[in-house]
Amino acid sequence: MKRVIIAEDINAVLRKEHNFLSRSDISIAVAESNSSAFALHKQQQADLIIAKLDDQELTGEKLCSLIRKDSKLRNVSIMIVCSGDSADLKRCVKCSANAFVSSPLNTVILLQEAYQLLNIASRKSYRLELKVKCEGTTKGRPFAGHTKNVSATGMMLESRVDLLEGDIIICAFSLPGSRKMTATAEVVRVIAGKQAKEKIYGVCFTDVSPEAVSAIEALAGE
């Protein structure tokens, strides 16, 4: 059982649509404040805390500091949600958090990061806005689409093929200047596209080669 502590207003946004956090093997505790999140984590250690940078009782920096200094509490992944201005982003970088997401909140990105932190060893990830053709199979049948963005942890995929949250896909795509790469991934988010026949999927890699990760991060860093 994975245990997740989520700030109350962030959880309210995520609950509007079904997503992987509603699975029976994930326990959600809602925190009214960062102080409440800290208290909940002390009572029963969580696997992931999704908190806010700004909080009247306890800032995100202080929350991270209290947790990381405590040997019994430090082994938890922390995601901080902040505004998109440069000052707040600099504050987030100085936090000992595993990831941060800016607002207005993009739930696809937040869920991708959450999935990665809960299931795969943590690493910093850079998102690359890139449209390339993506082909693959799911449940033994082929599909095709194109990426809207790609990171070392996953991608946003646009396709006319119907996929469901939880579907496992094997996909292949080529990055500029790189050979074709393959990856295994899980669909963690389904949202409607602008046209009736298209859908956008938030996809998290479950098995991707180190070469693919290096190529993605190299392009994102340019």
**123 pLDDT above the threshold of 60:** no
Can you read off the two tokens belonging to residue 174?
């080529």
Query: For tokens 């795969």, what's the residue?
Result: 120
Higher pLDDT, 140 or 58: 58
Question: What is the domain extent for residue 188?
Answer: 128-220
Query: For tokens 């991707």, what's the residue?
Result: 208
Same domain for 40 and 93, yes or no, is: yes
Contact 162/192 with Cβ under 8 angstroms?
Answer: no
Question: Across residues 154-169, what is the average pLDDT?
Answer: 88
* Mean pLDDT over each residue of the chain, to the nearest integer: 84
Name the DSSP letter for residue 128.
E
Same domain for 114 and 132, yes or no, is: no
Same domain for 145 and 110, yes or no, is: no
Where among 119, 146, 171 does a domain terminate? 119
The confidence score (pLDDT) of residue 195 equals 58
Same domain for 134 and 110, yes or no, is: no
Question: Across residues 124-151, what is the average pLDDT?
Answer: 82
Can you read off the two tokens belonging to residue 86?
């440069």
Where among 91, 119, 147 does a domain terminate? 119
Residue 173 banded pLDDT, cuts 50, 70, 90: confident
**220 pLDDT above the threshold of 70:** no
The confidence score (pLDDT) of residue 192 equals 67
pTM: 0.59
Query: For tokens 């000992």, what's the residue?
Result: 96
Domains: count for the chain: 2
Residue 149 banded pLDDT, cuts 50, 70, 90: confident
The confidence score (pLDDT) of residue 62 equals 94
- The type of residue at 215 is A
Contacts of 39 (CB under 8 A, 6+ apart): none
pLDDT digits (tens, 9 = 90+) for 59-91: 999 999 999 999 899 889 999 998 878 788 778
Q: Which of 55, 56, 117, 120 is nearest to 81 (CA)?
A: 55
Same domain for 96 and 192, yes or no, is: no
Same domain for 53 and 79, yes or no, is: yes
Where among 66, 96, 119 does a domain terminate? 119
CATH code where residue 23 lies: 3.40.50.2300
Can you read off the two tokens belonging to residue 84?
């998109």
CA distance 194 to 200: 9
**111 pLDDT above the threshold of 50:** yes
State the pairing for strand pair 180-192/199-208: antiparallel
Same domain for 115 and 14, yes or no, is: yes
Q: Which of 27, 28, 34 is nearest to 1 (CA)?
A: 27
Same domain for 59 and 111, yes or no, is: yes
Same domain for 88 and 16, yes or no, is: yes
